[in-house]
Amino acid sequence: MMVRKQDIDELPKNAANYTALTPLWFLERAAKIHPTRKSIIHGSLHYTWHQTYQRCRRFASALSNHSISLGHTVAVIAPNIPALYEAHFGIPMAGAVLNPVNIRLNASTVAFLLGHCNASVVIVDQEFFSLAEEALKIWSDKTKTFKSPILIVIGDENCDPESLRYALSKGAIDYEDFLRSGDPEYDWKPPEDEWQSIALGYTSGTTASPKGVVLHHRGAYLMSLS
């Protein structure tokens, strides 16, 4: 009688033979190996790898405090600023999926994206708050079961302070206050499955509505190495 050899893919996963690939490990390693080296320089803002890691853990902790976890999507409408960098780590550290929104889109298209991904949280740079506000209005008008997402505004020192005050008066949470509510030592967990979604992007929608493109932790890890 012939005994079939068990294929390695059929073996149950355990700590001895499997670790989920995720780019989140890169940030943790940088904070451990180069804690005092500069990670971000953006105008007057200067952060070390240790500080960036702590801020991302605060981000994840604050999201978790608002019950944002696996199965939720967090949309970010912002240019290439430190908060967007932190979102690439803090959001998946909480188990959620990052949806970076193109700041050049019009409100109608942004509304479609937010509705399609059913964003639980919308984080927006102060400069683009009016865009987010209009998009949310369009989304709510088109959806009978609309549930207002948590709205967070990122302060921008280059913008009129009045626009930040306006955003806060509309119920938005200040981004830095949101981070301060989180734990800098938050014990985040890597995904159990490396095929778990880490980010959701969208096509340009030139000939039709934009199409969602999902990226998983394994893919993000391997692309970072290539």
Q: What is the CATH number of the domain that holds 31?
A: 3.40.50.12780
Residue 43 falls inside a structural domain: yes
Average pLDDT of the segment spanning 133-151: 95
Q: Name the band, by pLDDT with cuts 50, 70 and 90, for residue 6.
A: low
Query: Between β-strands 121-125 and 73-77, what pairing exists: parallel, antiparallel or unpaired?
Result: parallel
Identify whether 3 is part of a domain. Answer: no
- The answer to whether residue 5 sits within a structural domain is no
pTM comes to 0.92
In a domain, 203, yes or no: yes
Could you tell me the residue range of the domain that residue 117 belongs to?
Answer: 21-225
The model's pLDDT over 46-60, given as tens digits with 9 standing for 90+, comes to 999 999 999 999 999
Structurally, how many domains does the chain consist of?
1
